[in-house]
Chains A and B, each alone.
Chain A
Amino acid sequence: MPLELRARAAAVHLVLIAYSALAVGPILLVAMNSFKARNAIFGSPLAPPNASTFSLIGYQKVFRASHILTYFSNSMIVTLVSMALVLLFGAMAAWALTEYRFRGSTPLALFLSIGIMVPIRLGSVAILSMMRNAGLNDTLTALILVYVAQGLPMSIFILSEFIQQIPKDLRDAARCDGVPETRIFFEVIAPLLRPAIATVAVFTIVPIWNDLWFPLILTSSDSTHTITLGVQQFLGQYITDWNSVLAALSMAILPVVAIYVIFSRQLIAGLTSGAVK
């Protein structure tokens, strides 16, 4: 029996290892080859770079030929500002919807949840003309406004579930002491929502960083491109220059992978905490 159990465990690990290799293999392959000279990329694609094949020529070209640092900082600004606003406004709305009873709260909650199922992309035609009329075309502000509107429904849904799990005694005690409602939210409730940030990040923030559609529609100059659009256009232009293509791909992959590996424990805990059943 123990032998059979061990064989079964080995089989399970074999399947999981095989799938894990399939999941990271392509990413490793791209990252690894981005540090190699052109001959080695084609000659021995599966070999890691060594002293004779190591080359940073792809990276040098990317820095020289594209505004990669501008794209990167644009993406940082758009993602961080959107994230702050999605979390702040989302938590405030979630608090009001779960804590206070008022007429129209159920229809309002339903109204806010439309955006979970209906993609905001379908409104792009009107969004573009609105932004043009408001003079916001080709600005990061336009992207931020759209992304906040896109992220709010899901973040309200997730944060409401978290707020419901906070013990009622906490706010009751504060209320008995006569603490005003705004301070109860900002000083008692908001700090307790920190574990929810990971879940909200997976469902609303990562899609913002990775989005191609709205930068494509709403931004037209290099100074407002995000990293996803910038890399996409660079790749289209330099498709035959394998060093540059692999380097640009790696530069887009590595920061995300680094952040993901650092926070993966919290991210996965947030995903599987039952907040999204």
Chain B
Amino acid sequence: MAESVSQVVAQMPRGRFAGLLFLFLGPAVAIYSLFSIYPLIATMGLATYTSDNTGALHYVGLANFQTLLGDALWSKPFWNAFSNNMIFFAVHMLVQNPIGIALAGLLSLPGLRFKGFYRTVIFLPTMLSVVIVGFSWNLILSPLWGVAEGALKSVGLGSLFAPWLGLESTALITLALISVWQFVGIPLMLIYAALLNIPDELIDAARVDGLGHFRIFLHVKLPLILPTIGLISVLTFVGNFNAFDLVYSVKGALAGPNFASDILGTFFYRTFFGNQLQLGNPTMGAAVATVMFFIILVGVCVYLFIAQRRMRRYTF
């Protein structure tokens, strides 16, 4: 049957087949190439230029990268943003993904009631704008309003309260946890879908062998969803190293206090667009974007390497 299909298409005159491909693929390829791939390449190209006072561009090779990584004026904020970004990512990996996996495990228990309700409610924050989420938490954690403090006091932990978003030592972790709160729905849903795809026979076999729910999850289900966990890890990595909105809307472009919550996204924005302290510098901005591109590329390559080497996809 499949043969006859390809014959109808294969017998089409060459010109008409090419026209058909052009019609179907043309718009998508054109818009994507022009507004996604070309700007990426052009940005990398621009990173090898510098502009003088008149705005004219001069080719400088890799000098912008030498400045960015070698000149303390640039390299200090860059490495600060980079290590903050690593911490931001680590919090997501250590908090968001385990919570997502645990909730998905609970939701996929057989015979659980109100499943739909829980899924809908827990996924809700993921649908909201980061700006809205950031501001809402800003109010809730504000000592002015005192809601968070009141909530802690009611369980006898009032002394633990501090203006977390305002302190240099806690601002970054607090922002990361707000982001975790918002995006836990994504690992939850992807893991949940993967768990539903595990055939019942495997679970039944384990149960006949006398394993409880928890050990079935740990020893049977978890190894089977490793590829999904790998995918979630790389999505988290890309999302985190591209994050900007949350820090910008809660702490502004200067990512205070004293750059304690500065991540690569806000560093890129300041460099490119400027702020109270400095003028925008498109060519240095392009250099920062290029470095961010390579960081993301390394993350994706590590994932592809591990996914190819170590993770077997199980097909049933």
Residues of A within 8 A of B (CB): 9, 12-13, 15-16, 19-20, 22-24, 26-27, 29-30, 41-42, 45-46, 85, 88-90, 92-93, 95-97, 100-102, 108, 111-112, 114-115, 117-130, 145-146, 148-150, 152-153, 156, 168-169, 171-172, 175-176, 181-182, 185, 206, 209-213, 216-217, 228, 231-232, 235-236, 242, 245-246, 249, 252-253, 256-257, 260-261, 264-265, 268, 271-274, 276-277
Contacts and interface: CB of A to CB of B under 8 A. Distances in A.
Given A93-B25, A268-B189, A272-B193, A27 B39 contact: no
A119 B300 CA distance: 12
Given A181-B20, A209-B129, A212-B131, A156 B124 contact: no
B121 A20 contact: yes
A45 B141 CA distance: 13
B249 A212 contact: yes
A149 B40 CA distance: 12
Interface in B104-119: 106-107, 109, 112-114, 116-119
B124 A171 contact: no
A100 B9 contact: yes
Given A20-B121, A265-B116, A108 B296 contact: no
B135 A235 contact: yes
Contacts of A277: 193-194, 197, 227-228
Interface of B: 1-2, 4-6, 8-9, 17, 20-21, 23-25, 27-29, 31-32, 34-40, 42-43, 46, 99, 103, 106-107, 109, 112-114, 116-125, 127-132, 135-137, 139-140, 145-147, 150, 181, 189-190, 192-194, 196-197, 227-228, 234, 238, 242, 244-245, 248-249, 252, 265, 272-273, 282, 285-286, 289-290, 292-293, 296-297, 300
B121 A127 contact: no
Contacts of B106: 12, 15-16
A124 B292 CA distance: 12
B40 A118 contact: yes
Contacts of A264: 120, 123
A23 B125 contact: yes
A276 B227 CA distance: 12
A121 B248 CA distance: 15
| Chain B contact residues: helix, strand, loop or mixed | helix
A125 B4 contact: no
B145 A130 contact: no
A92 B109 CA distance: 39
> Which 3 pairs show the lowest CB-CB distances between chains A and B?
A123-B39, A149-B35, A126-B42
Given A27-B124, A124-B272, A148 B31 contact: yes
B282 A129 contact: yes
A127 B34 CA distance: 10
Nearest to B127: A260
A272 B189 contact: yes
Given A122-B293, A169-B1, A175-B5, A150 B36 contact: yes
A209 B40 CA distance: 23
Contacts of A185: 24
A102 B146 CA distance: 64
Contacts of B20: 96, 100, 181-182
A92 B124 contact: no
Given A210-B131, A213-B244, A277-B197, 20 more contacts: A12-B106, A15-B106, A16-B106, A20-B117, A26-B136, A27-B128, A45-B147, A92-B24, A92-B25, A92-B27, A108-B29, A120-B36, A125-B289, A126-B42, A128-B282, A176-B8, A249-B135, A253-B132, A256-B127, A268-B189
